[in-house]
């Protein structure tokens, strides 16, 4: 926890800028490209395994009680694996941004946080649902406010509510910057897909690293008084 706290509020509060986090994301992409690509590919392969098994069951033909039960179990396993690999990929990104090594076992390290991650995801989904019902704009604001909650769950072992509060604290006053960052990354992603897999995969990797750098940068610049009600970040 000491190393994690050292990344909080330990810099002057210069303005958060898009070009800085994007430059760092690009630098990390260049220096870690092949290993990051390999581990992301492994994560996506693991996520698809239950789907392959489910398809095999359907291909066998006639439905029986056993195949129905197995199909339900595989669906549950698929959902849990998807969440775990999503968290594992965030762990990889955090390690890269923090200048640490990345390994395949990093994909499994957040397993103890899966229920907190699920709770945070459900809470955010409910808020976004209400927000988008209110003419979309409130939903966008809510997303920009709470988007970094998974990082706090994984890196700082927070519960879902505390993680959402922490995300709100570090995004205070930078909603427009984050909005434009997402717009730029959407353009990058779209351009990547125009080049098919040759561009889509590096674009996806770049966007992931850039968003993680945005989290790390905002956390570092956040005044500690903004986080006073969050003991996990005090220090």
> pLDDT digit string (tens) for 51-62?
777 777 667 666
Mean pLDDT for 126-130 is 93
188 or 71, greater pLDDT: 188
pLDDT averaged over every residue in the chain: 88
13 or 99, greater pLDDT: 99
Mean pLDDT for 144-156 is 97
Report the alpha-carbon distance of residue 141 to residue 136 in Å, rounded. Answer: 9
Report the alpha-carbon distance of residue 110 to residue 88 in Å, rounded. Answer: 6
Whether pLDDT at 1 is above 50: no
pLDDT for res 73: 83
pLDDT for res 101: 96
pLDDT for res 11: 55
Total structural domains within the chain:
1
Whether pLDDT at 5 is above 70: no
pLDDT for res 221: 87
Whether pLDDT at 39 is above 90: yes
> pLDDT digit string (tens) for 78-103?
889 999 999 999 999 999 999 999 99
pLDDT for res 136: 85
Q: What is the DSSP string of the chain?
A: -HHHHTTSS-S--PPP-HHHHHHHHHHHHHHHHHHHHHHHHHHHHHHHHHHHHHHHHHHT-S--HHHHHHHHHHHHHHHHHHHHHHHHHHHHHHHHHTT----GGGGTGGGGGHHHHHHHHHHHHHHHHHHHHTTSHHHHHHHHHHTTHHHHHHHS---HHHHHHHHHHHTTT-HHHHHHHHHHHHHHHHHHHHTTHHHHHHHHHHHHHHHHHHHHHHHHHS-GGGGTT-GGG--
Query: Which pTM does this prediction carry?
Result: 0.89
């Amino acid at each position: 926890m000491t190393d994690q706290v050292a990344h909080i509020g330990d810099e002057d509060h210069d303005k958060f800028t898009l070009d800085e986090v994007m430059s760092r994301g690009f630098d990390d992409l260049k220096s870690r490209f092949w290993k990051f690509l390999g581990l992301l590919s492994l994560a996506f392969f693991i996520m698809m395994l239950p789907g392959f098994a489910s398809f095999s069951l359907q291909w066998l033909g006639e439905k029986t009680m056993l195949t129905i039960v197995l199909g339900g179990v595989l669906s549950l396993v698929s959902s849990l694996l998807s969440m775990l690999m999503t968290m594992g990929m965030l762990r990889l990104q955090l390690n890269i941004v923090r200048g640490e090594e990345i390994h395949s076992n990093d994909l499994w390290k957040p397993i103890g946080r899966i229920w907190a991650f699920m709770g945070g995801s459900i809470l955010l989904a409910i808020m976004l649902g209400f927000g988008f019902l209110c003419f979309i704009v409130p939903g966008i604001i809510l997303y920009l406010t709470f988007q970094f909650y998974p990082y706090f769950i994984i890196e700082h072992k927070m519960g879902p509510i505390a993680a959402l509060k922490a995300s709100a604290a570090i995004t205070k006053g930078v909603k427009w910057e984050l909005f434009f960052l997402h717009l730029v990354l959407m353009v990058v992603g779209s351009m990547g897909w125009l080049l098919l897999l040759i561009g889509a995969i590096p674009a996806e990797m770049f966007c992931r690293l850039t968003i993680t750098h945005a989290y790390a940068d905002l956390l570092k610049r956040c005044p500690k008084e903004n986080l006073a009600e969050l003991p996990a970040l005090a220090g």
